[in-house]
Structures are given as structure tokens and as C-alpha cells.
Amino acid sequence: MKKWAAVVAGGVVLALASSAQGAEPGVDQWGVVTKTDPITDDERVTAGVVESGGLGVLFQCSQGRFGAVLIPNTPRLEIEFITMEPTTTVEWRVDDDPAHEETWNTVSGGAGSSYAVATLKSQEMAEAIKSAKDRLVVRVHGATGTFTVEGAREHISKAQASCS
């Protein structure tokens, strides 16, 4: 699972670096990006959003597996994400529904990438976001982000469908 999480986290940087383009993930805007590995032809579909404070939520299909990744997108958050622990607690809720508390895997930053947290147990979260009417709130490493859910259904569904 850690190998997959590292693959996911590496693809996240590419998705966010070019977020100024139309339907790709951006600040307070859900989007989707598709990348194809030039050697294996493996298609990686990533849907996500970054909130104005710098926390990013991404859902990705990579190597036939669907998962979620939380990433820092500011220097302050990058420092918050640095840990030696193999797992971390993630709390999330949509609208006014009860909060969920889960244990996600820590993905240590490598050369040119940041730490992140990832899970392959993301279907419940994805479905809850797709059904939400107002907002998603996520807390990880003491950072709390509030995300729009406008456009989430369409883009998360694309990532899920690519894993079918």
C-alpha cells in the first residue's frame, strides 16, 4: 500500500502544478486530470480540490486501485505534515453529518515532493462528498480545511469510473 500511496502523492504534485488550466484541480474548484505513464501506458485519473488555506483533497485511480490523498500546498502546511509516524488520524465530515475519524497512511516526502497522507479505504468518503449539499471539512495534523462540494460529484465519479 505504501508504494501505491507514494505513486499517488507523486502524481498529485503534477496535478496541482498545472491547476490554472480549465478543469484541473485548483483552489476552491474541483477538477480532474488524467496522466498516462509513457512506459506502461497506465492511466492515472486524479480528481481533487485545494482550499484557500492550502490543504488539498484528491481522489485517484492508479494501477486499478481507488484511493484518497491529503496533501499540503503551502510551506506552513508542509511543515505540519512532517512526521515519523507510519499512520495519522484524519477526521472528516460533510454538511452537518456526524464526523468520521479514520487512520490513514503517512507517505514520506522524497526528493522534490512533500509528505502526504493516503488511504485505499476511500469509497465511503467519496460517496459522502458526492451526496453533500454544502461542504466538506477535513482535519489532519492539526490543520482544518473547509472545501466546496460544487462540482465534486462529476469529477470524483470520473476517477471512480476509471477504476471499474
Q: What is the CATH number of the domain that holds 154?
A: 2.60.40.1880
Task: Give the total number of structural domains in the chain.
Answer: 1
Q: What are the pLDDT digits (tens) for 132-146?
A: 999 999 999 989 999
Report which of residues 33 and 1 the model is more confident about: 33
Looking at residue 140, its pLDDT comes to 96
Domain of 99 in residue numbering reads as 2-161
Looking at residue 80, its pLDDT comes to 86
Q: Of the given ranges (15-29, 52-66, 79-93, 148-162), which has the lowest mean pLDDT?
A: 15-29
- Apex 54 CA angle, 48 and 56, nearest 5: 20
Instruction: Report pTM.
Output: 0.82
pLDDT band at 10 (very low <50, low <70, confident <90, very high): very low
Distance CA 136, CA 148 (A): 6
Distance CA 25, CA 93 (A): 21
